[in-house]
């Protein structure tokens, strides 16, 4: 019975746009004429579903544009073979299935996307019944991960308007209007209108090689314009992360923001206060590991979004020293260079760089009153800096530990006498800490040639390394040795 029931929207879809405000009796009569599918609905729940399908809705006015292969230029050989297999299998089972999102967008822009997302009318539970190696993840937004070999493909069910959710189990909004849970399912058209930007709402059907466009995404793509779908203020309030995505796509794709998309961002940046730190951490990775970190940093500062991600860095860019400002931009630019060169980039380095100016300022502010060495001072101050940052974006421990090590090693680079220089080379964080030294010098900080010394030392042969250490030892000022007081002799009784 359930396997037949999932087809009922398909049977009605062809006639629903002509019926409009049909009364209940007509709907019941229409259902009775559909033989062998299901009995005429006699309960209020079924009747409500059908009435909602036929009710007049502004969505029905949306025009579908079909773009043939001769016009869009996508070829199936450019798409992951596993993604095509998943779509083909879903279609064989009687479901709709399309390639959607950034994969389609990037193919149209001449790129080579690595990730391909799939949208279908099959529910998550139905997808897991079709594919043996599939599992449902997520609570706020259920998706299915289908594993094909080493590749994991993301399959989502068509979304509907959250107002139609059957109670809080399906759609939940906070008292400030932010969508906390959105597991209301719909059809292809409603799914297109629930997506964020028009260029991300293009659906590719491998079987017909057509692109389906409900939102004018192809026009925006050709104009290199980023347009949000629906009312911008309402969509940003519903999910404030869309403001971050707007900035990211603007710089990643080199698009212009449509005027109505851009206008509300500055005034509504405080919506991000409602987003959990763990989710903002994931967004930070996407923002700064997309290959356009420097321009993205400038964009976040320009649209007043940076204080909700890195409040210390935002303050530095507003009122900090020029050297500290250059450090932030140099860190972002170096990240872009490493990504362009296919070199490894760790979030620990990015966070260490963005928090370093604040760390330095607080160390100077506490140095006069602190009784202890620089290492102890750094440790105490870093605890407060990390705690404050985690109120905005979470930092997993697997990144906090390397961050602290990078910071601590900055104080040890000047200690090069004896075996210390050789021990530094063996430290697992030496390379990251060395890159950080070069970054500080690049920003204009005077480190007395430390970067050049360590560059030569790590590439020199053993004899030259020993000579460099000896030269450093002879050039260092001699410390006056403190004389110990002789131990008092015990007085005879």
Residue with tokens 């990078």: 406
Tell me the mean pLDDT in the region 211-229.
Answer: 97
Percentage of the chain beyond pLDDT 90 is 71
The pLDDT of residue 42 is above 50:
no
Which pLDDT score, from 0 to 100, does residue 184 have?
Answer: 83
Tell me the C-alpha distance between 183 and 142, whole Å.
7
Work out the pLDDT band at 177, boundaries 50, 70, 90.
low
Q: CATH says 231-411 is which class?
A: mainly alpha
Using alpha carbons only, give the angle 290, 270, 243 rounded to the nearest 5 degrees.
35
The pLDDT of residue 363 is above 70:
yes
Question: Quick one: three-class SS letters along the chain?
Answer: CHHHHCCHHHHHHHHHHHHCCCCHHHHHHHHHCCCCCCCCCCCHHHHHHHHHHHCCCHHHHCCCEEECHHHHCCCHHHCCHHHHHHHHHHHHCCCCEEEECHHHHHHHCCCCCCCCEEEECCCHHHHHHHCCCEEEECCCCCEEEEEECCEEEEEEECECCHHHCCCCCCEEECCCCCEEEECCECCHHHHHHHCCEHHHCEEEECCCCEEEECCCHHHHHHHCEECECCCHHHHHHHCCHHHHHHHHHHHHHCCEECHHHHCCCHHHHHHHHHCCHHHHHHHHHHHHCCCCHHHHHHHHHHCCCHHHCCHHHHHHHHHCCHHHHHHHHHHHHHHHHHHHCCCCCCHHHHHHHHHHHHHHHHHHHHHCCCCCCHHHHHHHHHHHHHHHHCCCCCCCHHHHHHHHHHHHHHCCCCCCCCCHHHHHHCCCCHHHHHHHHHHHHHCCCCCCCHHHHHHHHHHCCHHHHHHHHHHHHHHCCCCCCCCCCCCCCCCCC
Give 408-426 pLDDT, tens digit per residue: 999 999 998 889 999 999 9
Tell me the mean pLDDT in the region 53-63.
Answer: 52
Average pLDDT of the chain?
A: 85
Tell me the mean pLDDT in the region 30-50.
Answer: 43
Positions marked active-site: 115, 117, 196
Give 308-317 pLDDT, tens digit per residue: 999 999 999 9
Q: Which residue has the higher pLDDT, 298 or 141?
A: 298
Tell me the mean pLDDT in the region 79-93.
Answer: 96
Tell me the C-alpha distance between 60 and 359, whole Å.
55
Tell me the C-alpha distance between 337 and 292, whole Å.
9
Residue with tokens 């997808």: 127
CB atoms within 10 A of CB 478: 6
Domain boundaries, the chain: 2-56, 60-223, 231-411
Angstrom CA distances, 426 to 204, 352, 409, stand at 52, 21, 12
Tell me the mean pLDDT in the region 110-123.
Answer: 93
Contact (CB, 8 A) for 49 and 5: no
Q: Round to the nearest angstrom and report the end-to-end CA distance of the chain.
A: 104
Work out the pLDDT band at 479, boundaries 50, 70, 90.
low
Helices 293-302 and 241-253 pack at an angle, to 10 degrees, of 130
Give 232-260 pLDDT, tens digit per residue: 999 999 999 999 999 999 999 999 999 99
Angstrom CA distances, 370 to 189, 243, 375, 385, stand at 64, 42, 11, 17
CB atoms within 10 A of CB 357: 22
Which pLDDT score, from 0 to 100, does residue 21 have?
Answer: 39
The pLDDT of residue 133 is above 50:
yes
The pLDDT of residue 54 is above 50:
no
The pLDDT of residue 224 is above 90:
yes
Tell me the C-alpha distance between 230 and 267, whole Å.
18
Work out the pLDDT band at 287, boundaries 50, 70, 90.
very high
Copy the structure tokens of residue 146: 């289908």
> Regarding the domain with residue range 60-223, which homologous superfamily does it belong to in the CATH classification?
Beta Polymerase, domain 2 (3.30.460.10)
Tell me the C-alpha distance between 203 and 331, whole Å.
37
Cβ contacts of 82 within 8 Å, gap of 6 or more: 148, 149, 151, 153
Tell me the C-alpha distance between 337 and 327, whole Å.
15
Prediction pTM value: 0.81
């Amino acid at each position: 019975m359930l396997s037949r029931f999932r087809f009922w929207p398909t049977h009605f879809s062809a006639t629903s746009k002509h019926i409009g405000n049909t009364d209940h009796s007509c709907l019941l009569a229409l259902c009775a004429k559909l033989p062998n599918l299901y009995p005429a609905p006699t309960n209020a729940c079924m009747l409500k579903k059908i009435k909602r399908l036929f009710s007049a809705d502004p969505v029905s006015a949306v025009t579908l544009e079909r773009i043939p292969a001769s016009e869009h230029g996508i070829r199936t050989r450019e798409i992951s073979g596993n993604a095509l297999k998943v779509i083909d299998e879903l279609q064989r089972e009687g479901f709709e299935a399309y390639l959607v999102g950034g994969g389609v967008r990037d193919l149209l822009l001449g790129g080579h996307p690595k990730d391909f997302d799939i949208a279908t009318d099959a529910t998550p539970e139905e997808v897991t019944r079709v594919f043996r190696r599939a599992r449902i993840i997520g609570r706020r937004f259920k998706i299915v991960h289908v594993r094909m070999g080493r590749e994991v493909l993301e399959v989502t069910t068509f979304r509907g308007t959250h107002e139609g959710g059957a109670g809080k189990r399906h759609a939940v909004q906070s008292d400030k209007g932010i969508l906390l849970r959105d597991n209301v399912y719909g059809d292809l058209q409603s799914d297109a209108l629930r997506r964020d930007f028009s260029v991300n709402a293009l659906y590719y059907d491998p079987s017909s090689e057509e692109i389906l466009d409900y939102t004018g995404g192809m026009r925006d793509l050709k104009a290199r314009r980023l347009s949000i779908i629906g009312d911008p203020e309402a969509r940003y309030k519903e999910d404030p992360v869309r403001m971050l995505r707007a900035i990211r796509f603007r710089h990643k794709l080199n698009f212009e923001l449509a005027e109505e998309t851009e206008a509300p961002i500055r005034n509504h940046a405080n919506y991000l206060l409602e987003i959990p730190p763990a989710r903002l951490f994931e967004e930070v990775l996407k923002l700064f590991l997309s290959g356009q970190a420097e321009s993205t940093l400038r964009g976040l500062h320009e649209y007043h979004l940076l204080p909700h991600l890195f409040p210390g860095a935002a303050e530095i860019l507003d009122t900090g020293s020029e050297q500290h400002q250059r450090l932030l931009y140099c860190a972002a630019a170096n990240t872009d260079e490493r990504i362009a060169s296919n070199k490894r980039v760790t979030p620990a380095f990015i966070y260490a760089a963005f928090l370093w100016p604040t760390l330095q300022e607080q160390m100077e502010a506490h140095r006069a009153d602190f009784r202890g060495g620089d290492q102890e001072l750094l440790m105490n101050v870093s605890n407060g800096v990390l705690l404050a940052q985690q109120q905005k974006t979470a930092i997993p421990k697997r990144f906090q530990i390397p961050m602290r090590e990078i910071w601590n090693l900055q104080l040890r680079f000047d200690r090069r006498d004896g075996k210390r220089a050789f021990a530094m080379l063996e430290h697992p964080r030496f390379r990251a800490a060395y890159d950080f030294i070069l970054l500080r010098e690049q920003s204009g900080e005077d480190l007395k040639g430390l970067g050049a010394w360590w560059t030569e030392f790590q590439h020199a042969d053993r004899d030259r390394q020993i000579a460099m250490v000896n030269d450093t030892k002879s050039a260092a000022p001699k410390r006056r040795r403190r004389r110990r007081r002789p131990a008092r002799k015990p007085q005879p009784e």
